[in-house]
A and B are shown apart, each in its own frame.
Chain A
Amino acid sequence: MIDAALSSSGAQVVLATSSDENHPPENIIDGRTDTFWISTGMFPQEFIIRFSNLIKVTLVTIQSYNVQSLRIDKCSSPDTTDFEKVLEKEFEQTEGQLQSEDFSLGGTRATHLRFIIKSGYDHFVSVHRVMVEGTNENHM
């Protein structure tokens, strides 16, 4: 079992719809929760994580703040085409602490995951860490 969504294991954020240069999207995959990416206004917002390999995904964990409605899509080809919806979830609002949500993906295969934040509990939301537990599949 590995965390496929770490920059140290070759993951990349290949798209993000907001950018504050002090809080870049790479902060989502640096393995830390004290660094974050922040949306800079309006919804929806999204980001796409590309893995270094095809991954058989068992569990996705996202740590965030003020996210209200999230959709996750996956893509299993080497390029970012043909995304399909995996799930959609309403988050509970938290005060004074981060939201932490787990999703079991049951071994679905993906090269990319797309996270679409459809709405927030505030004008601005932050994503601190995404963890993707799974195993490497050898062939893309």
Chain B
Amino acid sequence: MVKLRAKCILAGDATVGKSALCQLFRSDGTHFQKNYTMTTGVEVVVKSVNLPESNDSVEFFIFDSAGKDIFLDSVEKLWGQPSVLCLVFDVTSEQSFKSCAKWLERARAHTQGLQMPGVLVGNKTDLSVRRTVDTESAREWALSQGLEYFETSVKETENHEVPFRTLALAFHNIYREKLEVIQALA
């Protein structure tokens, strides 16, 4: 049995629902924050995920990061040595989708050449009438960047766990690979 710890950068433009996603995940789907509170730096949220078919788990330290540019300097200071990345955009905002390339580049600047499994999350799928980013183009871009793509509606409590489970599995796989390398050395 092993409990891994992973630093998860949660990034994307302001108001796409990063904090709401994070709080819903932390509360196991019981807490949707109806009122908007702007995150002004980084809020760290700790949450464990049990991995299927083993007693192993991954404890996430989610660095829920402000999306407004004015906080960028202070936010990026806390992004050193990340384990995994969760990028979020709002499917009703083309601009928030375009910004993901920029957020991805910023996060990758902190990896020091190490692997950083990542997911792209399109949120607010309940607002189907106002939707401007279609599933296919989002998925296509995600794949081209080596990210897995998911869609969520935090408001409807839909799919909020899958992105984190995917990241947990990916990080656990890296652990097993590295363990094999070390065992071969010894």
Q: Decide if B4 touches A40 in the complex (CB within 8 Å).
A: yes
Q: Decide if A122 touches B114 in the complex (CB within 8 Å).
A: yes
In the complex, identify which listed stretch (B13-21, B66-74, B178-186) lies at the interface while the others stay far away. B178-186
Residue in contact with B81 in the complex, picked from A18, A19, A21, A43, CB distance below 8 Å: A43
Q: Decide if B5 touches A38 in the complex (CB within 8 Å).
A: no
Describe A's contact surface by its main secondary structure.
loop
Q: Decide if A36 touches B81 in the complex (CB within 8 Å).
A: no
Residue in contact with A123 in the complex, picked from B1, B178, B182, B185, CB distance below 8 Å: B178
Q: Which of B1-52 contact A (CB under 8 A)?
A: 1-7
Q: Which residues of A are found within 8 Å of B174, using beta-carbon distances?
A: 123-124
Describe B's contact surface by its main secondary structure.
mixed
Distance to closest chain A CB from B60 (angstroms) = 10
Q: Decide if B185 touches A41 in the complex (CB within 8 Å).
A: no
Q: Which of A83-140 contact B (CB under 8 A)?
A: 96-98, 119, 122-124, 126, 128
Distance to closest chain A CB from B98 (angstroms) = 30
Q: How far is the CA of A43 from the CA of B83 in the complex (A)?
A: 10
Which residue of B is nearest A42, CB measured?
A: B5
Q: Decide if B61 touches A126 in the complex (CB within 8 Å).
A: no
Distance to closest chain B CB from A129 (angstroms) = 10
Which residue of A is nearest B178, CB measured?
A: A124
Q: How far is the CA of A56 from the CA of B6 in the complex (A)?
A: 39
Flag whether A79 is at the interface (Cβ < 8 A). Answer: no
Q: Decide if A36 touches B182 in the complex (CB within 8 Å).
A: yes
Q: Decide if A42 touches B182 in the complex (CB within 8 Å).
A: no
B contacts, CB < 8 Å to A: 1-7, 58, 61, 81, 83, 114-115, 171, 174-175, 178-179, 182, 185-186
Q: What are 6 contact pairs spanning A and B, CB under 8 A?
A: A22-B2, A23-B179, A40-B4, A42-B81, A124-B174, A124-B175
